[in-house]
Amino acid sequence: MATTDATGFARYAWLTAGLSLLFCAAFTLYVWSEKRIDRANDLRHESELLSEELRQSSDDLTHMARSYAATGEPAFRRHYDTILAIRDGRAPRPLDYHIIYWDLVPADGHAPRADGPAVPLLTLMRQAGITPAELALLAQSKASSDRLTGIEQSAMALAAPHADAAVRAQASRMLNDATYHQAKADIMRPIMQFQLRLEQRTDASVRDAKQRAVWARHAFLLAGVLLVTLLLRVLWLLRTTLGASVTTLHASIARLGRGDFVTPITVEPGRENSVQGWLAATRAKLASSDASRAAAEEQVRYLAHFDPLTGLANSNQMQLLARQAFADAGRAGQPVALLFLDLDNFKDINDALGHGTGDAVLAELARRLRAQLAHDDVGCRLGGDEFVLLLRGAGRAEAPARAQQLLAAVAAPCRIEQYDLNLSASIGIALYPDDGTELELLLQRADMAMYSAKHEGRNGYRLFAPAMQAHFTRQLQLVAALRQALGSAQLQLVYQPQVALHSGAVVGAEALLRWRHPELGEVAPDEFIPAAEHSGLIVPLGAWVLRQAVRQARTWRDAGLPPLTMAVNLSAAQFRQPGLPELVSQVLREEGLAPDCLELELTEGVAMHDPHGAVHTMNSLHERGVRMAIDDFGTGFSSLSYLKQFKICKLKIDRSFVRDIGDNPEDQAIVAAIVSMARGLGLSTISEGVETEQQLAMLREQGCDEIQGYYYSRPLAADAFEAFVRARLAAVRLASDDGVSANNRTQARPIFGSARV
């Protein structure tokens, strides 16, 4: 509708402009017509004056001639000549001189007016716009008058100043006889005819002009009325398009210009689609975007201090709140417990159920934690599944109980979406002021304590102890030294034989890493492997081990040793590397070893941490012909369904079940179950940590396939291992030559079993 109004408005505006032009044209025509009337009248008047001048000059000449004839007064004769000279253009024409000559002749005889140009009367007549026919009449009259001047001149010649009375009387008769009168009449007749014609012609043109003026006036009036009507229409349309008066509109725009989006702009009903309506809508939008901007700013302010997922304070805000809490506690002489809480196995939830569920778990966890906090305690989310809680007034006596409450709250049954989850957390506690007065230090120490809690089985809490600090310092020291040691002679591999129970032959070797540091001395793998895993160094370190072990296997094969399987430990971080299968293939290719000579050992925990990913990686390695074994089997929580899917060939029974197998029926039962299950799944078994003959006998009884342990040999340097294998081979051959089982011969006397390398 507004568009229609605007179009109508434009159309009417153009129409109005056109009509205005028409109005002006009509007005101009009217004025022009009126001027034409005036001009015609002026011309008539001027022409009449000129014709009158001709007649009057003739009369004046007659008077002068008669007066001179009667009186002989020379002045009359002079006047006569002057009139004639002016009429013929020989003397200057006095300014404003028309027909009256007498008023130019005052008593003193001086001319009263200034002189103008000398122009003959006929020339003036010609210039006055008189038609040729009319001019011919005046010329005829002028010619008659000129002829009469001949009679007059003759009469005046007779009446010289000293002429006698009879001569003068004769001269006067010449100027009054019938001939003279006839001549005079010849002058007047054409003038009369001229005046008649002039009258008729002028009347006609005046009539014409009047007629035109009437038309023009009517057109002008009509255009005026129409213009006013159109103007009113245009104004109405303008008002409709604007939707309000110009003043109201101006006020509305001025308000918006000032940034006032709050005061509403009123719109008359039905005028929503007008300029005022649009302004009102724009104001509403601006007001709403203003409100959105304010809300966004508020949100930004909120996000600067709070975690949007849980509504808890973020680390920025925690700094402020912690400083406040420590300052208050410092003044009051009270303790503050800083609890560092980390969900156990949260990564599994995220990986298995997705990040959306993970977020829901974190939100639920935050809700539970908040419910446990006193009003002046502080709850923060540092990021991920890490939370920090500041408990005011909680010292060494109270903090453990509070931590226990929090752990219980976390462990309460939890249903997120369709999942029933068992949540647990590990908490590290650092106390203000005992463990530090600075937030940074307390956080670091609580973090250490939390890691200790994780290390010791999770779902628990630990108070910070200085020993932890020593442990972490040692870990840092080891990591730094290990980084230096990478690729140097400090690192060596040793190889522990793996013996087939049924033949007593060495069928494989497990590669084990050794580190001798020039200052730290021999560092145990149980110490430096976790440090390497923690720091990520295990990835390059593991790659180095893999290449060294594969190279050694190839060297032994080239040296003529019987086929052996080289077992290499894979850490969790290595196993998670997306390029692991490619790396393994590359190393085998470059070192020239058949893939089935390599066996990668993966702990049960690592495999079950992300079973989906493990299946994928194992499939890829299996396709490349590489063998896989599960290390430390029995200590984790393998799901049988996954075990079925894993492309493995061997289970390595953990040494904790072997240690007491001779005396402990439970261990015997476990080992029997593992062996039987492995057979069921088509897997072989190897027992580690076999040290005694009794253990060996029990394992043979249970049907275990292979043995690894000090009973046969400690891990050996490469050349010692080679010697071991050759010696064992010779012993086995000798035994078979004697017809005695190699097992019977060798089991009682392990070879190279004396020194740990």
Ligand X SMILES: Nc1nc2c(ncn2[C@@H]2O[C@@H]3COP(=O)(O)O[C@H]4[C@@H](O)[C@H](n5cnc6c(=O)[nH]c(N)nc65)O[C@@H]4COP(=O)(O)O[C@H]3[C@H]2O)c(=O)[nH]1
Task: At 656, list the tokens.
Answer: 């904790």
Torsion over CA: 157, 161, 164, 168 (sign): positive
Binding residue for ligand X, selected from 33, 51, 452, 496, defined by CB under 6 A? 496
Q: Which is nearer to ligand X, 569 or 685 (CB)?
A: 569
In angstroms, give the least distance from the CB of 659 to ligand X. Answer: 8
Q: In angstroms, rounded to a whole number, what is the distance separating the alpha carbons of residues 443 and 343?
A: 17
Binding residue for ligand X, selected from 542, 581, 611, 750, defined by CB under 6 A? 542
Say if residues 683 and 651 touch (Cβ distance below 8 Å): yes
By CB under 6 A, the residues from 178 to 237 that bind ligand X are none
Task: At 453, list the tokens.
Answer: 């809690």
Q: How far is CA 295 from the centre of its chain?
A: 19
In angstroms, give the least distance from the CB of 552 to ligand X. Answer: 12
In angstroms, give the least distance from the CB of 704 to ligand X. Answer: 14
Q: Which is nearer to ligand X, 243 or 497 (CB)?
A: 497
In angstroms, give the least distance from the CB of 417 to ligand X. Answer: 37
In angstroms, give the least distance from the CB of 318 to ligand X. Answer: 37
Q: Is the peptide bond before 433 cis (omega within 30 degrees of 0)?
A: yes
Query: How many CB atoms are closer than 10 A to CB 618?
Result: 21
In angstroms, give the least distance from the CB of 631 to ligand X. Answer: 5
Give me the residues paired with residue 94 across strands: 115
Q: In angstroms, rounded to a whole number, what is the distance separating the alpha carbons of residues 248 and 265?
A: 10
Binding residue for ligand X, selected from 571, 617, 638, 702, defined by CB under 6 A? 571
Task: At 184, list the tokens.
Answer: 């005079």
522 — phi, psi (to 5°)? -75, 120
Q: Which is nearer to ligand X, 343 or 553 (CB)?
A: 553
Q: Which is nearer to ligand X, 526 or 719 (CB)?
A: 526
Q: In angstroms, rounded to a whole number, what is the distance separating the alpha carbons of residues 211 and 32?
A: 12
In angstroms, give the least distance from the CB of 594 to ligand X. Answer: 21
Q: Which is nearer to ligand X, 537 or 675 (CB)?
A: 537
Q: Mark 683-722 with x for binding to ligand X (rule: CB under 6 A) and - for no binding.
A: -----xxxx-----------------xx----x-------
Query: How many CB atoms are closer than 10 A to CB 406?
Result: 22
Give me the residues paired with residue 708 across strands: 688
In angstroms, give the least distance from the CB of 549 to ligand X. Answer: 8
Q: Which is nearer to ligand X, 53 or 510 (CB)?
A: 510
In angstroms, give the least distance from the CB of 415 to ligand X. Answer: 38
Q: Is 569 in the site for ligand X (CB under 6 A)?
A: yes
Nearest to 98 by CA among 108, 77, 78, 83: 83
Binding residue for ligand X, selected from 478, 513, 584, 732, defined by CB under 6 A? 513
Query: DSSP character for 103?
Result: G
Q: In angstroms, rounded to a whole number, what is the distance separating the alpha carbons of residues 136 and 167?
A: 38
By CB under 6 A, the residues from 620 to 659 that bind ligand X are 631-632
- Output the CA angle 495-501-505, nearest 5 degrees: 55
Q: How far is CA 339 from the centre of its chain?
A: 42
In angstroms, give the least distance from the CB of 696 to ligand X. Answer: 11
Binding segment (CB under 6 A) for ligand X, from list 84-92, 317-325, 460-468, 520-528: 520-528
307 — phi, psi (to 5°)? -85, 120
Q: Which is nearer to ligand X, 32 or 710 (CB)?
A: 710
275 — phi, psi (to 5°)? -60, -40
Task: At 8, list the tokens.
Answer: 């109508």
Q: Which is nearer to ligand X, 354 or 536 (CB)?
A: 536
Say if residues 371 and 389 touch (Cβ distance below 8 Å): no
- At residue 354, the 3 state secondary structure works out as coil
Task: At 258, list the tokens.
Answer: 């000032």
- Binding residues with ligand X: total (CB under 6 A): 20
Q: How many helices (H) and strands (E) does the chain have?
A: 26, 16
Say if residues 144 and 183 touch (Cβ distance below 8 Å): yes
- At residue 389, the 3 state secondary structure works out as strand
- At residue 386, the 3 state secondary structure works out as strand
Torsion over CA: 428, 429, 434, 438 (sign): positive
Q: Which is nearer to ligand X, 335 or 542 (CB)?
A: 542
Q: Is 525 in the site for ligand X (CB under 6 A)?
A: yes
Q: Which is nearer to ligand X, 195 or 687 (CB)?
A: 687
Q: Determine the angle formed by the axes of helices 466-485 and 525-535, rounding to 10 degrees.
A: 80
Say if residues 525 and 513 touch (Cβ distance below 8 Å): yes
Binding segment (CB under 6 A) for ligand X, from list 282-290, 306-314, 525-533, 675-683: 525-533
Say if residues 433 and 375 touch (Cβ distance below 8 Å): no
Q: Which is nearer to ligand X, 326 or 712 (CB)?
A: 712
Q: Is 584 in the site for ligand X (CB under 6 A)?
A: no
Q: Which is nearer to ligand X, 335 or 750 (CB)?
A: 750
Say if residues 190 and 141 touch (Cβ distance below 8 Å): yes
Q: Is 526 in the site for ligand X (CB under 6 A)?
A: yes
Q: Is 491 in the site for ligand X (CB under 6 A)?
A: no
Query: How many CB atoms are closer than 10 A to CB 306?
Result: 17
In angstroms, give the least distance from the CB of 690 to ligand X. Answer: 6
Q: Is 512 in the site for ligand X (CB under 6 A)?
A: yes
Q: What share of the chain is helix, strand, coil (3-state, %, to 5)?
A: 60, 15, 25
By CB under 6 A, the residues from 57 to 96 that bind ligand X are none
Binding segment (CB under 6 A) for ligand X, from list 40-48, 104-112, 201-209, 682-690: 682-690
Q: Which is nearer to ligand X, 121 or 529 (CB)?
A: 529
Q: Which is nearer to ligand X, 310 or 569 (CB)?
A: 569
Binding residue for ligand X, selected from 279, 545, 661, 699, defined by CB under 6 A? 545
DSSP H or E run through 286 = helix 275-305
In angstroms, give the least distance from the CB of 610 to ligand X. Answer: 17
In angstroms, give the least distance from the CB of 602 to ligand X. Answer: 10
In angstroms, give the least distance from the CB of 653 to ligand X. Answer: 11
Q: Is 265 in the site for ligand X (CB under 6 A)?
A: no
Q: How far is CA 67 from the centre of its chain?
A: 114
Burial of 32 (0-12, 13-18, 19+ CB in 10 A): middle
Q: Which is nearer to ligand X, 416 or 513 (CB)?
A: 513
Q: In angstroms, rounded to a whole number, what is the distance separating the alpha carbons of residues 496 and 96?
A: 150
Binding residue for ligand X, selected from 361, 529, 628, 735, defined by CB under 6 A? 529
Q: In angstroms, rounded to a whole number, what is the distance separating the alpha carbons of residues 98 and 104?
A: 11
In angstroms, give the least distance from the CB of 580 to ligand X. Answer: 13
Binding segment (CB under 6 A) for ligand X, from list 62-70, 265-273, 317-325, 521-529: 521-529
Q: In angstroms, rounded to a whole number, what is the distance separating the alpha carbons of residues 492 and 516?
A: 8
Q: Which is nearer to ligand X, 33 or 496 (CB)?
A: 496
Binding segment (CB under 6 A) for ligand X, from list 69-77, 103-111, 294-302, 522-530: 522-530
In angstroms, give the least distance from the CB of 663 to ligand X. Answer: 17
Q: Mark 101-140 with x for binding to ligand X (rule: CB under 6 A) and - for no binding.
A: ----------------------------------------
In angstroms, give the least distance from the CB of 743 to ligand X. Answer: 18
In angstroms, give the least distance from the CB of 500 to ligand X. Answer: 17
Q: Is 544 in the site for ligand X (CB under 6 A)?
A: no
Give the binding site for ligand X (CB under 6 A). Answer: 496, 512-513, 524-526, 529, 542, 545, 569, 571, 631-632, 688-691, 709-710, 715
